[in-house]
Amino acid sequence: MKNKFLATLLFACSMGTLSAQTPVYLDDSQPVEARVKDALSRMTLEEKVALCHAQSKFSSAGVPRLGIPELWMSDGPHGVRAEINWNDWGYANWTNDSITAFPALTCLAATWNPEMSARYGKAIGEEARYREKDVLLGPGVNIYRTPMNGRNFEYMGEDPYLASIMCVPYIQELQKNGVAACVKHYALNNQELWRGHIDVNLSDRALYEIYLPAFKAAVEQGGAWSIMGSYNKIRGQHACHNDLILNKILKGDWKFDGCVITDWGGAHDTYEAAVNGLDIEMGSYTNGLTSESAFTYNDYYLAHPYLAMLKEGKVPMSTIEDKASRILRLIFRTAMNRQKPYGAVCTDEHYAAAREIGNEGIVLLKNTPVVKKGAPLLPIDAAKYQNILVVGDNAVRLLNQGGGSSELKVKDMVSPLDGLRAVYGDKVQYAKGYAAGRPMYGRADEVPQTVVDSLRAEAVEMAKKADLVVLVGGLNKNHFQDCEGGDRLQYGLPFGQNELIEALQGVNKNLVLVLLSGNAVEMPWVAKVPAIVQGWYLGSMGGKSLADVLSGAVNPSGKLPFSFPAKLADCGANAFDALSYPGDSIKQVYKEDVLVGYRWHDTKKIPALFSFGHGLSYTTFAYGKPVASAKTMTTDEMLTVTIPVKNAGSVAGKEIIQLYVGDEKCSVLRPAKELKHFTKIALEPGEEKTVTFTLTPDDLKFYDETASAWTLEPGKFKIYIGASSTDIRGMVPFELK
């Protein structure tokens, strides 16, 4: 009897029916792929399809029957957005969701410092984790193609190499918290006007050389666990279910093992979504009659319509196996990852990160003495002034509000006026100077001319009595400014600021202009204004960062991640007809091709007002002669270049040394020079360091459209070492054999 019982017991165990151990999919000690396979084997077709679409505004389903949790997502790239209602875009008005607002990603890019990117990702990841989010909808790495794009402030500039280097540490550190990055908006969402449907057409070279590299780096180096499909079309097919960019490039060439998530409302067709690589559909307005209706989420394209097509054999079962596997993998990496830390919000470390990213991102554009042989106005020496007048709506405006999905509800927000008062005390007076109306969506809030005139008159009167005037202006997060869902209506400063600048400078030559914006602006008054600072949207500690730099407590070290064209027509995207920008409302053609930003200014010899990579310091840096390890290079060798750099001034500072490569002669048109390496070094007064760059054959390749491959073409090249894309301090020729 005993043996029979033992035999039965052993048989039952071997069949797992009486398994003492945890099921594989719930067992953390098992490899993720085994857990995915096991979970899939236990799920019904209905349960697999349910994973593929939203169940609320910002969540997608898990598998309740198996104890597999839901996925919770949240904006945004600059901080964790306040809780949104279950079923609509309204705020839930919780009392525990105030967080840290970090500087906008243009500011992070302007630091040119990957360490700042790592600190950013760690801090925002801890805040997202604490808020129990599984997916953070950022960072954005679309390329700054035109200063008219309303969303450039969320991205990392005009150069694919800078954006590639600067997004990777953010993603890596964010994901160490068990929170997935969702890199966006893939791809070619380079304007907001008609973003939901504009059909972007461009050459393969522009696609591969300019618009894809940052996404490629995010996937291959950053290891991003999810990516967000963009609203627009690409060559006739919606990006959220686009065979070329999702199946062939992302999941094929780049071997992406994560999830493709739509932008909210980016899905438009069940069959295409099924076969063209979409994994999770969010935010769809499926019934076409109303948005956010009471309709259940089962009306989504990847819900019941997809289930029906699977059952009728109209789409292969392999599509749902692939989608469900990717979504389960994302769940195991996040919601079911028990190794993840607990996170935290509004810590001293997070505020320090926000402040120091701001400090390293602020760009000193101009700082010339007002009178010959006089001292420049910056840094502001308190002892020299008794009456400092701060002017401008942006000196007090809560710039965390507005702008679209990246808007934030903060626990603390130090304004520029507060920051300057903390340093200069009651020497500081304030005049609003201009008014900007409320951050709204869909239309601009008009300011009556009487208000414009009276605010300006008041500021001018006060400026007459001041020793120094600091105007904090720029753009803001209102619609048609730096805001999602619309593009700018003018390249010049809004709200009558140009007239205000002229009027202030007319009564007081000691004028410091601080621009808070995520975009370049036209500067008709540039010759008259002695000091100009590009200040970005700096987040919770913005006022402290600005005061740190204006007071000289911190020596500015930021450099521009995008060019400032003198006038809009000087920008490549805007140099052609409407089809190039903004398109004809249906179709668009990127006519500047690979000549984006400084690539256009250099190659067409149309100098920008302030160049890509430009940024001054309170000290000066002397560059020695660059020396290359050889005069020739074969296609399987590398070349090193060394440059001595010295701090020739009297204050410590940081310098960003940039290496550009120019192909002297090529079978295709190539930009005059392209950024291929950079480094940021700190130097004490008088200190000299030697910087070494290693050039590889990959740095010399261009995308060959006939071969559909990255190609090396032997010939003569030039290495340019620059303090900016136009401030070239040394050049070394070499030949590729």
**Dist. CA 139–CA 151, nearest whole Å:** 12
- Of the residues 134, 263, 487, 570, only one is catalytic, namely 263
Q: Smaller CB distance to ligand GLC: residue 75 or 173?
A: 75
Q: How far is the CB of 381 from ligand GLC (least distance, A)?
A: 43
Q: How far is the CB of 264 from ligand GLC (least distance, A)?
A: 4
Q: Smaller CB distance to ligand GLC: residue 250 or 514?
A: 250
Residue with tokens 């349910």: 50
Q: Smaller CB distance to ligand GLC: residue 263 or 699?
A: 263
Q: How far is the CB of 73 from ligand GLC (least distance, A)?
A: 8
Q: Smaller CB distance to ligand GLC: residue 263 or 281?
A: 263
Q: Smaller CB distance to ligand GLC: residue 264 or 581?
A: 264
Q: How far is the CB of 184 from ligand GLC (least distance, A)?
A: 5
**What angle separates helix 160-175 from helix 114-130, to the nearest 10 degrees?**
40
- Which residues contribute to the site for ligand GLC (CB under 6 A)? 75, 137, 184, 263-264, 405, 484
**Dist. CA 651–CA 603, nearest whole Å:** 36
Instruction: Report, in this order, helix, strand and coil percent for the chain, each rounded to 5.
Output: 30, 20, 50
SS3 719: strand
Do residues 727 and 660 make contact, with C-beta atoms less than 8 angstroms apart?
no
Q: Do you find a cis peptide bond into 565, omega within 30 degrees of 0?
A: no
Q: How far is the CB of 683 from ligand GLC (least distance, A)?
A: 39
Q: Smaller CB distance to ligand GLC: residue 156 or 428?
A: 156
Task: Give all strands of the β-sheet with 674-683 in edge-to-edge order.
Answer: 632-633, 728-736, 715-722, 653-663, 674-683
Q: How far is the CB of 292 from ligand GLC (least distance, A)?
A: 13
- Cα 135 to Cα 103, 231, 295, 334: the distances in Å are 20, 19, 25, 8
Of 73, 69, 68, 79, which Cα lies nearest the Cα of 57? Answer: 73
Q: Smaller CB distance to ligand GLC: residue 199 or 484?
A: 484
Six-digit token pair at 648? Answer: 């020739």
Q: Smaller CB distance to ligand GLC: residue 184 or 355?
A: 184
Q: Which residues of 128-140 are buried (b: 16+ CB within 10 A; e: fewer)?
A: bbbbebbbbbbbb
Question: CA-based Rg of the chain, rounded to a whole angstrom?
Answer: 27
Backbone angles phi, psi at 458, to 5 degrees: -60, -45
**Dist. CA 647–CA 358, nearest whole Å:** 23
* Helix/strand/coil (H/E/C) assignment for every residue in 333-380: HCCCCCCCCCCCCCCHHHHHHHHHHHHHHCEEEEECCCCCCCCCCCCC
**Dist. CA 647–CA 555, nearest whole Å:** 13
Q: How far is the CB of 408 from ligand GLC (least distance, A)?
A: 13
Six-digit token pair at 197? Answer: 């449907």
Q: How far is the CB of 518 from ligand GLC (least distance, A)?
A: 14
Let me know if 204 is a catalytic residue: no
**Dist. CA 261–CA 498, nearest whole Å:** 42
Six-digit token pair at 193? Answer: 């006007």
Catalytic residues: 263
